[in-house]
Amino acid sequence: MKKKWVVLMLFTLTLSTGMTSIAAADQPANQTVLADQSSTGNHTENTDKNIAQTNEEKLAAGEPTSAGTAASTTSTKAAGGSSAKAAAGSSTKAAGGSSAVVKTTASAGSTWTVTDSQIKDAAGRVKSFIEKNDRLPNYVTIGSKQVSMSQYLKLVNQETLNLYGSSGSLTVGSVSGPTNPAESVKSGNIQKSEYLKLAKNILNFMSSNGRAPNYASSSLGTIRYESLVYAFSRVVAFHDDNSRLPNYVSVKSWTSQTGGTNPGDTTTDPALQKYLVATANAQSTSSTIKNLAASITSGKTTTYAKAQAIFNWVRDHVSYSFYYNTQKGALGAYSSRSANCCDMAHLVVALARAAGIPARYQHGTCTFSSGTYGHVWAQLYVSGKWYYADAVSTRNSFGTINNWNLNTYTLHGTYASLPF
């Protein structure tokens, strides 16, 4: 029942002209917490090993309770050329910020196509959203479907090439986000020939790796994922306004555009602070929890690696025990090495917060192989997105749930502190 998680390492995509390799970071939206609980108050789970679920990673694309990532783009120009228009867009909503959790739009094997006019319209809305909200949206609605930013990056790069004469299909499929976006870039312009080659290499990377790159190497240095989303949105939006591709696209560091903060910077993003504090049952400031977290994450150099190590430790060292609601808390779950879903989630959350990783709870009604039950699990925030961390079953891995059906569950609430 154990499902192995393939750690996605930071890939550098070297372009023949010195262009960039990419990465992506989904940003959580400001969303309303759903706090309803089941009428019975039962919060149980089943760890049956026979249920056959997809091994496709499922991501929460829209995040409840404002955990947004800053991503200001200010007045960066869209592109060059005598008829170029300013990049500063209107306040039209691109996406993100809905009041409910949005699940990944493309499950394993699920694909659909979009039209040229639809992706141009989406590019304009993403551009405007970034310029108004200083961050990436969680998703963009294309047609009647919600498309994650990683999926959108693939579409907007293909559209860029199509506008230059290619005929690639604008197909939406399953694409994971980046693992650890990074940048080292100087401000400047990327000429058309270079951004076209960059678009092609981005597509090749995503096709080969099934995810968005962390950054792209260009003649200006390494450009992080978020800046790539913004740059290619401006390229396509420029074409929609001017009926031609821009001669160049201006780029500067994402940190300078966002006033010195990066998506996923957990020490400066005020929206994430409530997911870092100790609570009565997630005792992240306890010396026992702090020492355990330090031991588990020792030698880990990335936030993702630390989060994965914490998840793996709880999953592998604490056995599941059936009872209702919180009875032990994180410290009790650790000392007894036995816990139900609530207390196991408390331990994951406490260890993550002790390691400086934002963590929260979700409560829903989930379908297991043996039936449908109330259930609680943790989520950890890494590099701009929330990862599932349900440690009750060895079939699960960090970011992936296999012991209950993600396609049919009902979410009742998302919490900084579990209320039951």
pLDDT tens for 258-280 read 654 455 445 446 788 899 999 99
- Interior/surface letters 157-196, b for 16+ CB within 10 angstroms, e for the rest: bbbbbbbeeeeeebebbbbbbbbbbbbebeeebbebebbb
In angstroms, the CA 42 to CA 325 distance is 7
Amino acid (one-letter) located at 314: V
DSSP state of 208: H
pLDDT band with cut points at 50, 70 and 90 for residue 168: confident
Q: pLDDT over 70 for what percent of the chain? A: 70
pLDDT tens for 108-130 read 346 778 899 999 999 999 999 88
Angle (CA) 382-308-230 rounded to 5° is 25
pLDDT tens for 5-63 read 333 333 333 333 333 333 332 233 332 222 222 333 333 333 332 222 222 222 222 22
34-48, 138-152, 183-197: the lowest-pLDDT one: 34-48
By the 10 Å C-beta count (0-12 exposed, 13-18 middle, 19+ buried), 115 is classed as: exposed
Which domains can be identified in the chain, with CATH numbers? Answer: 60-257 (no CATH), 270-415 (3.10.620.30)
Average model confidence (pLDDT) across the chain? 76
Token code pair at residue 265: 């910077």
pLDDT at site 159: 95
pLDDT at site 258: 61
Amino acid (one-letter) located at 360: R
| Alpha-carbon Rg for the chain in angstroms | 21
Distance from the Cα of residue 66 to its chain's centroid: 14
The 3-state secondary structure of 108-164, one letter per residue = CCCCEECCHHHHHHHHHHHHHHHHHHCCCCCEEEECCEEEEHHHHHHHHHHHHHHHC
pLDDT at site 269: 66
Give, for 320, the enclosing helix (H) or strand (E).
strand 319-320
pLDDT tens for 315-370 read 999 999 999 999 999 999 999 999 999 999 999 999 999 999 999 999 999 999 99
How many of the other CB atoms lie within 10 Å of CB of 97? 20
Amino acid (one-letter) located at 128: S
74-88, 167-181, 369-383: the lowest-pLDDT one: 74-88
Are the CB atoms for 88 and 238 separated by under 8 Å?
Answer: no
pLDDT at site 306: 92
DSSP string, 325-345: S-SSHHHHHHHHTEE-HHHHH
- Interior/surface letters 296-309, b for 16+ CB within 10 angstroms, e for the rest: bbeeeeebbbbbbb
